[in-house]
Amino acid sequence: MKTLLILLTAASLIAAEPGAALMQRIMKAADKTNDGKLTLEEYKTLDVQAKHHGDEHFNTGDKNSDGLIDVGELAEALKKQTWFAILSEGIEPCFARLDANKDSKIDASEYRKISKMGHHSEQHFKGADVNKDGFLDLAEFAAHAGHKLATLEDGQPKKKPSKK
């Protein structure tokens, strides 16, 4: 069942979404007050590195220094997010570019070329490798790219449950 859900999610994300439409979708998912702008707290739901770098990324994106991020400023604020980089480029083109040996899968070294997670790249790669074969296929890659946004849109918890 979990694999089916991943494949269905991936299929819905594989088509490249135009830049403006993607920005609107992200804004809608994160903007809980529906005012067309993100506060720091709303923005942090989009930032995988929010615990350590969320304020810095927010301030980088807030070009007019009004303490809010509007849809025009959003791309700059999110530029250090791996999921955003993948969705912005388009899942299939990004996958094809990263798949250096054209074997229809991405290994950890190929993934590092897009990952904005620094020394956490390996951890995020392993988390995206659902079938634990040491590679990401297109479906896993698509699900990984859209996980943050899909989670916000579904209203599910923003953090993974802790392992016991």
C-alpha span between 23 and 27 (Å, rounded) = 6
Q: Is 164 a residue whose pLDDT tops 50?
A: no
Q: Is residue 164 part of a domain?
A: no
Answer yes or no: is 162 within a domain. no
pLDDT at position 11: 44
Query: Residue 119: is its pLDDT beyond 80?
Result: no
Domain membership of residue 158 (yes or no) is no
Query: What are the DSSP calls for 7-67, one per residue?
Result: HHHHHHHHSPPPHHHHHHHHHHHH-TT-SSEE-HHHHHTT-TTHHHHHHHHHHHH-TT-SS
Q: Average pLDDT over the chain, rounded to whole?
A: 83
Q: Could you tell me which residue, 110 or 81, shows the higher pLDDT?
A: 110
> Is there a contact between 106 and 98 (Cβ–Cβ < 8 Å)?
yes
Number of domains observed in the structure of the chain:
1
pLDDT score of 4: 44
pLDDT at 159 over 60: no
State pLDDT tens for residues 30-77. 999 999 999 999 999 988 878 888 898 899 999 999 999 999 999 989
Domain of 14: which CATH number?
A: 1.10.238.10
pTM reported for the whole predicted model: 0.74
Task: Say if 48 falls within a structural domain.
Answer: yes
pLDDT at 14 over 50: no
163 domain-assigned: no
Q: Is the pLDDT of residue 12 over 60?
A: no
Does residue 160 lie within any of the structural domains?
A: no
